[in-house]
Amino acid sequence: MHTLVHSPSHPAATRGHALGSPRLYDFFAEFFFFRRRRATFQALAAAVGIQPGQCVLDVGCGTGYFARFIAAAVGNDGHVVGVDASMSMIEYARRKAARTTNCGFQVGAAEALQVPNDGFDVVVSSLVMHHLPEDLRLRALQEMRRVLHTGGHLLVVEAQTPQHGLGWRLLAHAHGYDRMARQVPHLEPLAAAAGFGEIRSGEAPPWLRYITAVNA
């Protein structure tokens, strides 16, 4: 699996908005999810049907939180590769997963994955689409389809404005999260345009919505 992905030692060239400050990112993520981060990502892994033994690609993996979680779920017979355009995110993710033998991280761009065709059972991508300019979103989804086996599963997660609770809604507004959520209003037509089938939508309240789809 390590040979599936190139390992450049510089940030990926992209017009997407790569992030620095991995520690700050994880701090805010823990704060926002308020002890529900693990349960939320557990629900997302279940939604896409992660199974022991699978090979999974996490596109725009950031600090590697979801990738590490999935690595535990797929077990030693499976493998996870996290790709992110940011060198500092990848270095941090590698440090955090230093003792996880079935999980590797590589610098790369979602819209030009340095990964051969048909390498993965599942591709996940959480909170990345709003980091890409509109024309790159479809390219990124086409890339995710290219690297999936036929019949492989996709999970794309995006921000949503909390539907309930004045406190959550005020926090979303103060932070600018609701603006972020509006940047990618519909994931379904993008996945369909990229050639995916069996597209289903869901929510992981209060902060996230998602689609799952199949490389039919």
- Binding residues (CB under 6 A) for ligand SAM: these are 14, 16-19, 29, 60-62, 65-66, 84-86, 89, 109-111, 126-128, 131-132
Q: Give me the sign of the Cα torsion angle 47, 49, 52, 53.
A: negative
- State which residue, 55 or 110, has the beta carbon closest to ligand SAM: 110
- State which residue, 6 or 197, has the beta carbon closest to ligand SAM: 6
Cα–Cα dist 41/6, whole Å? 27
Output the smallest distance, CB 106 to ligand SAM, in A.
10
Output the smallest distance, CB 60 to ligand SAM, in A.
3
- State which residue, 17 or 200, has the beta carbon closest to ligand SAM: 17
User: Residue 83's closest CA among 6, 159, 178, 189?
Assistant: 6
Amino acid at 147: V
Give 70-116 as a DSSP string.
HHHHH-TTSEEEEEES-HHHHHHHHHHTTT-TTEEEEE-BTTB----
3-state DSSP percent of the chain in helix, strand and coil, to 5 = 40, 25, 35
Output the smallest distance, CB 91 to ligand SAM, in A.
12
- State which residue, 166 or 174, has the beta carbon closest to ligand SAM: 174
Output the smallest distance, CB 41 to ligand SAM, in A.
8
- State which residue, 41 or 196, has the beta carbon closest to ligand SAM: 41
Output the smallest distance, CB 73 to ligand SAM, in A.
16
